[in-house]
């Protein structure tokens, strides 16, 4: 019987491994689960054409790094405490989008990309 899992050996920067361990502890998950979830999300972004790029601006990479140091609850709190005003092409205020989880966001994004 074939296994659905494969054992691998990887080398990570110490800071990345420590971050994975912190996430594992706070999320009550294994280190392997955290790393596998990161790969799943990255693969989904690549397939959707939205993967992180080394061409991303330095300030955006720094902001993402800061965001990833926060817990999910802290990121939500911070996002809700900032008033963002965007306008549509017609100059009308745009309502901010909110999703209960990543799966809902991914489904919305896929539907939006599919529509002309």
φ, ψ for residue 71 (rounded to 5)?
-75, 165
Does residue 67 form part of some domain? Answer: yes
Q: Which domain holds residue 72?
A: 54-82
Q: Which of 52, 22, 51 is nearest to 34 (CA)?
A: 22
Q: Are 27 and 73 a contacting pair, CB within 8 Å? A: no
pLDDT in tens, 4-42: 888 889 998 898 999 999 999 998 999 999 999 988 988
pLDDT in tens, 60-86: 777 778 888 888 888 777 776 655 555
Does residue 69 form part of some domain? Answer: yes
Our count of domains for the chain comes to 1
Q: What pLDDT is recorded for position 35?
A: 92
Alpha carbon 15 to chain centroid distance?
18
């Amino acid at each position: 019987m074939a296994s659905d899992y494969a054992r691998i050996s990887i080398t990570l920067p110490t800071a990345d491994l420590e971050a994975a361990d912190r996430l594992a502890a706070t999320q009550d998950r294994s280190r392997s689960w955290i790393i596998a979830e990161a790969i799943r999300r990255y693969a989904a972004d690549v397939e959707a054409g939205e993967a992180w790029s080394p061409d991303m601006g330095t300030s955006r990479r720094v902001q993402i790094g800061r965001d990833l140091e926060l817990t999910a609850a802290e990121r939500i709190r911070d996002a809700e405490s900032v008033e963002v005003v965007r306008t549509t092409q017609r100059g009308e205020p745009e309502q901010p989008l909110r999703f209960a989880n990543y799966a809902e966001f991914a489904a919305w994004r896929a539907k939006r990309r599919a529509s002309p």
